[in-house]
């Protein structure tokens, strides 16, 4: 499944919207991220921030509601941005939305050059290499922040793999991309602050939702295994008929000044 297309993220928008105001974060990852940015001066009241690949607006809401920042929410998915507008309007936020693929965005035409105090890109396929790093820096007049998975274990998927007699596909991290980005930042912005942080969370599904998740978001199981995967998932539900997908990850944080 190609997760870099508008159509994919349009389909995923409803799921991500459920996490905006009720995020099952098991180790306060979001709070730690915000505190990290504050400690380095990257969050201040009235700052203008661009949230690149903002999804349904989890951090847009936090920046606007808790930190009183102006937010430009950027995403390839119009459905995601619809949720952003819903959430931001409910808190009377100072914001705008821009539907575009950041990788193809024309900065000068958008009038974005040196316009943002913080350019924020949290685990988004919109930023995948040096070209997007330069583009983030070009639109910033202050700070840039990038978060990417460094390690990723989906314990739910691993359990299904074991029951199928397959090798557990624990890690789907693009290490090559991370290495390229880090090497580029070391030469481009040697003072970049690098940190690795744990991030554990879970999702709750009906068995059918869990089965759909396996085939929409994971490139692990073959189409011919769908019936058997479904049977295994049925055996994993709790007394309320709910299946828990648990993920344990490590996340790379990079913060640099423009």
167: which DSSP letter? P
Q: Within 10 A of 210 (CB to CB), how many other CB atoms are there?
A: 24
- % of the chain residues with pLDDT over 90: 78
> How many Å apart are CA 177 and CA 165, to the nearest integer?
30
CB-CB contact of 247 with 154 (8 Å): yes
Residue 146 has pLDDT above 70, yes or no: yes
> How many Å apart are CA 51 and CA 20, to the nearest integer?
14
- pLDDT per residue as tens digits for the range 199-235: 998 888 999 999 998 988 887 899 999 999 999 999 9
Q: Within 10 A of 190 (CB to CB), how many other CB atoms are there?
A: 8
Average pLDDT over residues 231-247: 95
Residue 256 has pLDDT above 90, yes or no: yes
The pTM (predicted TM-score) of the whole model is 0.90
Average pLDDT over residues 81-97: 97
> How many Å apart are CA 127 and CA 74, to the nearest integer?
12
Give the start-end residues of each E strand in 172-238: 193-205
- Comparing CA positions, the residue from 41, 82, 43 lying closest to residue 66 is 43
- pLDDT per residue as tens digits for the range 154-207: 999 999 999 999 877 544 555 678 989 999 999 999 999 999 999 998 888 999
Range name among 81-85, 176-180, 200-204, 248-252 with the lowest pLDDT average: 176-180
Average pLDDT over residues 49-77: 97
- Comparing CA positions, the residue from 140, 135, 104 lying closest to residue 119 is 140
pLDDT given at position 27 = 62
Half-sphere exposure of residue 186: CA atoms within 13 angstroms, side-chain side: 6
């Amino acid at each position: 499944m190609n997760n870099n297309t508008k159509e994919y993220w349009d389909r995923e928008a409803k799921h991500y919207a459920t996490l905006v105001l009720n995020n099952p974060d098991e180790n306060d990852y979001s709070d730690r991220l915000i505190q990290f940015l504050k400690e380095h001066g990257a969050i201040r009241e009235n700052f203008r921030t661009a949230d690149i690949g903002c999804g349904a607006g989890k951090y847009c809401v936090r920046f606007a509601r808790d930190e009183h920042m102006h937010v430009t929410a950027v995403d390839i998915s119009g459905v995601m941005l619809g949720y952003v507008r819903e959430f931001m309007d409910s808190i009377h936020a100072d914001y705008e939305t821009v539907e575009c693929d950041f990788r193809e965005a024309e900065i000068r035409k958008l009038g974005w050059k040196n316009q943002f105090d913080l350019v924020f890109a949290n685990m988004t396929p919109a930023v995948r290499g040096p070209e997007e790093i330069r583009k983030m820096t070009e639109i910033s007049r202050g700070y840039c922040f990038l978060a990417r998975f460094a390690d990723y274990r989906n314990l739910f998927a691993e359990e299904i793999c074991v029951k199928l007699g397959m090798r557990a596909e624990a890690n789907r991290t693009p290490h090559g991309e991370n290495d390229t980005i880090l090497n580029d930042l070391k030469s481009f912005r040697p003072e970049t602050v690098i940190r690795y942080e744990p991030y554990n969370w879970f999702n709750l599904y009906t068995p059918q939702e869990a089965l759909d998740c396996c085939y929409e978001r994971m490139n692990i199981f073959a189409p011919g295994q769908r019936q058997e995967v479904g049977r295994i998932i049925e055996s994993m539900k709790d007394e309320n008929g709910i299946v828990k997908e648990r993920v344990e990850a490590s996340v790379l944080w990079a913060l640099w000044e423009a």
